[in-house]
Amino acid sequence: MAALLRFFLLAYAISWVLWAPLWLPAFGIDVVLDLPLNGKIGGLGPMLAAIILIWKSKGLSGLRELGAKILWPGAGLYWTASIALPALSMALGYWMDPDPELYAVDRLASILFLDLIFFGLGEEIGWRGYSLPRLQGHSGALSSSLLLCIPWALWHLPLFLTEQTPTQLDASHLIGWILSLAAGSVVLTWLFNSSRGGLLGVVLFHTMFNLVSRTPGAGLMTFFVLLLGIALILVYKPKNLSLSPRVTTTADD
């Protein structure tokens, strides 16, 4: 577990420093350079933490192994599902509110590209690529998914002091946000284990979820993910959350 603690602390340190121009003004400090992508570059923290720790423990061979996981598609059924559900939510959102500005191709393409880099890859290489196998080395898939939600949620804390807060600061919105993280974590674990450790599906799903969250389909997407998370637990059972054995490692990098 020492490897996980090092990872979480390093991921927090990197992300919170990169987000500093956004949250320091809440404490009356407004002297840090505010760059255009400050709100996004903090998303790279988990990925950078994982790369640093893997490089330190395994060197170039470890980074090659990580790169292979990112490119490994696994079974097409699973990573295509990670695109299909968000696509359905977005289509239904457009049917309910066909706002041409929200669905402008250039807007969606820009969001998709930036979220793929800063949140899809930036977060999932760390959360699922590095942390989840280590948690699953000690606990079942469902327990690991829910345990991972705690540091994942805490990682967002500085953003609650900014205009980019993940949710409104009232009980109902906070509970809904935590439930969506938990359900999303279950879905991402299913994708990860079903792909035998491949990261393509989880990166695509996280990216597409973020994209849909900026459209009228956001509420539908959250609802569908919650239903899917419950269904996965019932169908695949808590131990592995997939037909394949859960992906584990006991490495203490």
Q: What is the pLDDT along the chain (253 residues), one digit of tens a residue?
A: 788 999 999 999 999 999 988 898 888 887 666 666 878 999 999 999 999 999 999 999 989 998 988 887 766 677 677 788 899 999 999 999 988 888 999 999 999 999 999 999 999 999 999 999 999 999 999 999 999 999 999 999 999 998 888 888 888 889 989 999 999 999 999 999 999 999 998 999 999 999 999 999 999 999 999 999 999 999 999 999 999 899 998 766 5
Phi, psi (deg, nearest 5) at residue 32: -90, 140
Residue 2 has a pLDDT of 85
**Tokens, residue 5:** 């603690």
Question: pTM (2 decimals)?
Answer: 0.93
What region does 168 belong to: left with phi over 0, alpha with psi -120 to 50, or beta?
Answer: beta
Distance CA 23, CA 19 (A): 7
Q: What does the pLDDT read at residue 26? A: 87
Specify burial of residue 162 (Cβ count, 10 A radius: 0-12, 13-18, 19+): middle
Q: How far apart are CA 118 and CA 180, in angstroms?
A: 20
- Three-state SS at 125: helix
Tell me how many helices (H) and strands (E) the chain has.
Answer: 12, 0
**Contact present, 242 and 187 (Cβ < 8 Å):** no
